[in-house]
Amino acid sequence: MASGSGRGRGRGSGSNNSNSKTQEYFGTIQPDLFVRQAGEPKVGSSGRAQKCYANFIPIEMEKVDYSIYQYHVEFDPTVDSKHMRERMLLHPNVTDEIGRYHVFDGMILYLTTEWQQNQEIEVPHPKTEDLIKVIFKQTNRFLLDNAQTINIFNTIIRRCFDEMQLTQLGRHYFNSKDARTVREYNMSILPGYETAIRMYEEKLMLCVENRFKMVRRDSMLSLFRNEMQACQNNRMRVLEKMNEMYGGTTIITLYNNKLHRFTRLDWSITPMSEFQKDGENITLKRYFKDQYDKDITVDDQPIIISEGKPKQPGEPPQINYIVPELCYPTGLTDEMRKDFRMMREIATHTRMSPQQRLQETRKLLGQFHENDKVRSCLQYWGIRLDEDLARVNARVLKSEPLLAEGTKKYEGRNAEWARGIKECGVYRGSNMTNWIVVGPSSGNSGMLAQKFIGEAMRLGNTLRVATGDPMCVPITGVTPNDYLDGVKRAIQQVNGEKVHMLVVLLVDDNKTRYDSLKKFLCVECPIPNQCVNLRTLAGKASDGGENKNFGSIVLKIFLQMICKTGGALWKVNIPLTDTMIVGYDLYHDSTLRGKTVGACVSTTTGDYTQFYSQTRPHENPTQLGNNLTHFVRKALKKYYDENNNNLPTRLILYRDGAGDGQIPYIKNTEVKLVRDACDMVTERAAKMSNKEHKPIKLAFIIVTKRVNMRILKQGANANTAINPEPGTVVDTVVTRPERMDFYLVPQFVNQGTVTPVSYNIIYDDTQLGPDKHQQLAFKLCHLYYNWQGTVRVPAPCQYAHKLAFLTAQSLHGDSDEQLRDKLFFL
């Protein structure tokens, strides 16, 4: 049955190969997230077994069936600080009535025993000692198997972190006592955790992911004063620089542990500015003293404006007024990211090996078990955390051989095969007999240009690609206009003759120059083109001016040139006939605020080595859906033209760029639009060819790269962990019962811990089954020609990402139709 057709709320699905005791709380899952029928098989069989850990802690419910009572809590007069409200509910006046281990999220209180319907208790304010009336109103009662339970359990875990004296920054908790220092930038790196409880295949589990927060020790006021000094007290200039440097960055206010987006600095407001609160005028300075017990020492500092999301659509954004003296910047600036020495130092603290992750998670689990207050809190709610991380029986798919010209084949090592392509050549060559090189001709640049041409022609012979002598067009200047004029002059000189490839040798990575050339050569005058930064070819002075990796660099460039002129570097054996594979991804346009570029790349041949690309901008989900319909119809038309007027019998669509919150919309709307587009094209093809075309079967798969799940391969014993091998598949224990999903590790990683990729099959009537879907995904990760190795997602998705990026960053419009059947965007 189709995975998503008429699908309701599944129950009792669990992993279908386990006889272990289950605690099924499927009611904790939102009903509109179910895309899997009860009992529908989702476990594959290919590959060899591999024992692994996952960064999950299984949960056993000791109280399996109890009611949760919900109360709305009000404070009279109003208390703005959530921290103060939480402290007030821990006052003996309250805890004598309801106990210490209730759950309170700042507004809603949850208890496991019923209390009287409405209660009022007076509690002194922790700072001012003024009596505050706390009003409790019962609003709901529900059982454990309820969607709200997950929010409550996650709040309980946060409560446990509070008891362990970890510091909450934003949504996550950090250990400020274990902070690491980067002295050069006066910055602390705080280690911490991101946690989430949810229902997995057989039971509730707690996912624990290591997180790090970079916090500067200099307040925004200190940085502001530095800029005042640098700009000689020119206020306007300081405002411009501060807004330019920090606009859009995240700042933290430690008095309430909240993160804010820096929008702008406003000198018209100071700590002495007044606003109305509870019917009286109050200054910002007094407000922060009353609410947070924070003394502001500088009265004439400007205020930071932080604009949040509007409460309701159509309303203005919520505005927070933040005092620079009380907030600190987080994260890394562009200047820091360019400092390779500093980035290397940060990586030593933040890039954790599988062994370190195993040890850190076990250490945290030990603290959960050893802390008396944490144990009491969990016991009150009937929650028992397991003694160790979840164990997973993964499978490792066999490595894929790469097919070259004729019968030649080779295999990579650790999913990389740069050496193999040099020895065996390419699967399908291309014609570059008529190519042009535009760039500087004098000095060192001219020497590098000639060396590049010589190496490219040598590689042409080695890889059996037809390569003639290029026409060289020198330029004297290096401005964007000089380069553009040189390109136009070169095109005029060929007198209308077809140019197979135009290479532009750039003196640096100036974005304006690059964008103008790409826009001209991809949109206005379509010619396959390759921009080469001469600095990547040049050697270091310490190496005598010679680049030791010159041959490897030119090889990668030349392989790109082959792809852009219609060649294919290798293929893998995909035993599916009459199938079209589509990749879709998004990227935000840098010039069009609010607009996003959607890109679609589809296969057009049975060997899955030729692709057709399309782009379109959209502003909202409705336009995105309409664009997807347009993409599918055009992709099918291209396939029809390339395959003797035959349509595919299967369409497999990989949809990247979607979060969990979008799944219901994609399931209910986008899948239907794609299904309708397939049916429409089938009907039209039948009328045009006067022959019957079979209905196109569809698989719609959401690909998610950003996941908190980590797979740790068990080492020589239970106390060691290493990275799993490429081709590792996980489809039990830590997958979701409401999904037809699996995790795949396609790449080899030798630094840090590999991140698996999630595949969620939300619709499928192809009858391929889970095993073939898993194998197909791994095979497709081998077909990205910009890297001699596997990539994290199926190649059509990676191509779509690359295309969307180029369109949004440089082209700002559709490429010419002549280029769309080639990988011009690599």
| Distance, CA of 616 to CA of 589 (rounded, Å) | 11
**Residue 7: which pLDDT band, with cuts at 50, 70 and 90?**
very low
Residue 196 contacts residue 410 (beta carbons within 8 Å): no
| Count of domains for the chain | 4
Q: Are residues 546 and 441 in the same domain?
A: yes
Q: Is residue 681 part of a domain?
A: yes
DSSP β-ladder status, 327-329 and 250-253: antiparallel
Q: What local confidence, expressed as pLDDT, does residue 12 receive? A: 39
Q: Is residue 524 part of a domain?
A: yes
Strand partners, 205: 58, 198
Say yes or no to pLDDT of 310 above 90: no
**Residue 276: which pLDDT band, with cuts at 50, 70 and 90?**
confident
Q: Find where tokens 């719609």 sit.
A: 700
**Where on the phi/psi map is residue 231: left (φ > 0), alpha (ψ -120 to 50), or beta?**
alpha
Q: Are residues 644 and 792 in the same domain?
A: yes
Q: Is residue 713 part of a domain?
A: no
Lowest mean pLDDT among 1-5, 171-175, 584-588: 1-5
Condensed to tens digits (0 to 9), the pLDDT of residues 353-403 reads 999 999 999 999 999 999 999 999 999 899 999 999 999 999 999 999 999
Annotate 75-119 with three-state secondary structure: EECCCCCHHHHHHHCCCHHHHHHHCCCCEECCCEEEECCCCCCEE
Q: Are residues 701 and 602 in the same domain?
A: yes
Say yes or no to pLDDT of 751 above 90: no
Question: Among candidates 612, 558, 624, which has minimal Cα distance to 803?
Answer: 612
**Residue 462: which pLDDT band, with cuts at 50, 70 and 90?**
confident
Average pLDDT, stretch 713-721? Answer: 90
Say yes or no to pLDDT of 433 above 50: yes
Supply the DSSP string of 306-365, one letter for each residue. EE---SSTTSPPPEEEE-GGGEEEBS--HHHHT-HHHHHHHHHHH---HHHHHHHHHHHH
Q: What is the CATH number of the domain that holds 541?
A: 3.40.50.2300
| Distance, CA of 669 to CA of 148 (rounded, Å) | 26
Q: What local confidence, expressed as pLDDT, does residue 497 receive? A: 87
Phi, psi angles (nearest 5°) of residue 52: -140, 160
Average pLDDT, stretch 712-726? Answer: 92
Average pLDDT, stretch 746-762? Answer: 92
Q: Are residues 658 and 788 in the same domain?
A: yes
Helix H or strand E encompassing 407: none
Say yes or no to pLDDT of 541 above 70: no
Q: What local confidence, expressed as pLDDT, does residue 446 receive? A: 85
Q: Are residues 668 and 809 in the same domain?
A: yes
Q: Find where tokens 């001209």 sit.
A: 520
Count how many Cα atoms sit within 13 Å of the Cα of residue 91 in the half-sphere of its side chain. Answer: 21
Say yes or no to pLDDT of 11 above 50: no
Say yes or no to pLDDT of 261 above 50: yes
Considering 487-491, 508-512, 593-597, the range whose residues carry the highest mean pLDDT is: 487-491
Say yes or no to pLDDT of 631 above 50: yes
Condensed to tens digits (0 to 9), the pLDDT of residues 45-94 reads 999 999 999 999 999 988 877 889 999 999 988 888 888 898 899 999 99
Strand partners, 482: none
Q: Are residues 794 and 651 in the same domain?
A: yes
Q: What local confidence, expressed as pLDDT, does residue 590 receive? A: 60
Q: What local confidence, expressed as pLDDT, does residue 10 receive? A: 40
**Residue 746: which pLDDT band, with cuts at 50, 70 and 90?**
very high
Say yes or no to pLDDT of 3 above 50: no
**Residue 4: which pLDDT band, with cuts at 50, 70 and 90?**
very low
Q: What local confidence, expressed as pLDDT, does residue 2 receive? A: 42
Decide which of 316, 350, 384 is a domain's last residue.
350
Helix H or strand E encompassing 761: strand 757-764
Interacting residues of 771 by C-beta distance below 8 A, sequence separation 6+: 44, 45, 46
Q: What is the CATH number of the domain that holds 234?
A: 2.170.260.10
Q: Find where tokens 């080639």 sit.
A: 822
Query: Which residue range is the domain that position 249 belongs to?
Result: 218-350
Question: Among candidates 135, 53, 39, 124, which has minimal Cα distance to 88?
Answer: 124
* 3-class DSSP state of 722: strand
**Residue 593: which pLDDT band, with cuts at 50, 70 and 90?**
low
Q: Are residues 557 and 585 in the same domain?
A: no
**Residue 681: which pLDDT band, with cuts at 50, 70 and 90?**
very high
Say yes or no to pLDDT of 23 above 70: no
Average pLDDT, stretch 647-668? Answer: 89
Q: What percent of the chain is predicted at pLDDT more than 70?
A: 95
Supply the DSSP string of 628-668, one letter for each residue. HHHHHHHHHHHHHHHTTT---SEEEEEE-S--GGGHHHIII
Q: What local confidence, expressed as pLDDT, does residue 535 receive? A: 87
Question: Among candidates 323, 551, 371, which has minimal Cα distance to 459?
Answer: 551
Q: What percent of the chain is predicted at pLDDT more than 90?
A: 45
Q: Is residue 378 part of a domain?
A: no
Average pLDDT, stretch 289-309? Answer: 86
Q: Are residues 578 and 560 in the same domain?
A: no
Q: Are residues 631 and 699 in the same domain?
A: yes
**Higher-confidence position of 565 and 462:** 565
Cα distance between the two ends of the chain: 39
**Residue 781: which pLDDT band, with cuts at 50, 70 and 90?**
very high
Q: Is residue 300 part of a domain?
A: yes
**Residue 537: which pLDDT band, with cuts at 50, 70 and 90?**
confident
Question: Among candidates 599, 598, 676, 693, which has minimal Cα distance to 640?
Answer: 693
Q: What local confidence, expressed as pLDDT, does residue 757 receive? A: 95
| Distance, CA of 65 to CA of 753 (rounded, Å) | 39
Question: The tokens of 678 are what?
Answer: 């397939």
Question: Tell me, what amino acid is at 572?
Answer: V
Q: Are residues 670 and 801 in the same domain?
A: yes
Decide which of 547, 565, 583 is a domain's last residue.
565
**Residue 545: which pLDDT band, with cuts at 50, 70 and 90?**
low
Question: The tokens of 287 are what?
Answer: 């407000």
**Residue 778: which pLDDT band, with cuts at 50, 70 and 90?**
very high
Average pLDDT, stretch 785-791? Answer: 92
Average pLDDT, stretch 658-670? Answer: 87
**Residue 9: which pLDDT band, with cuts at 50, 70 and 90?**
very low
Q: Is residue 198 part of a domain?
A: no
Q: What local confidence, expressed as pLDDT, does residue 345 receive? A: 83
Question: Tell me, what amino acid is at 166?
Answer: L
Decide which of 112, 142, 172 is a domain's last residue.
142
Q: Are residues 769 and 630 in the same domain?
A: yes
| Distance, CA of 796 to CA of 603 (rounded, Å) | 8
Say yes or no to pLDDT of 481 above 60: yes
Q: Are residues 488 and 596 in the same domain?
A: no
Q: Is residue 372 part of a domain?
A: no
Question: The tokens of 263 are what?
Answer: 């929008």
Q: Is residue 636 part of a domain?
A: yes
Average pLDDT, the chain: 87
Question: Among candidates 325, 318, 183, 320, which has minimal Cα distance to 254?
Answer: 325
Say yes or no to pLDDT of 335 above 80: no
**Residue 543: which pLDDT band, with cuts at 50, 70 and 90?**
low
Say yes or no to pLDDT of 313 above 80: no
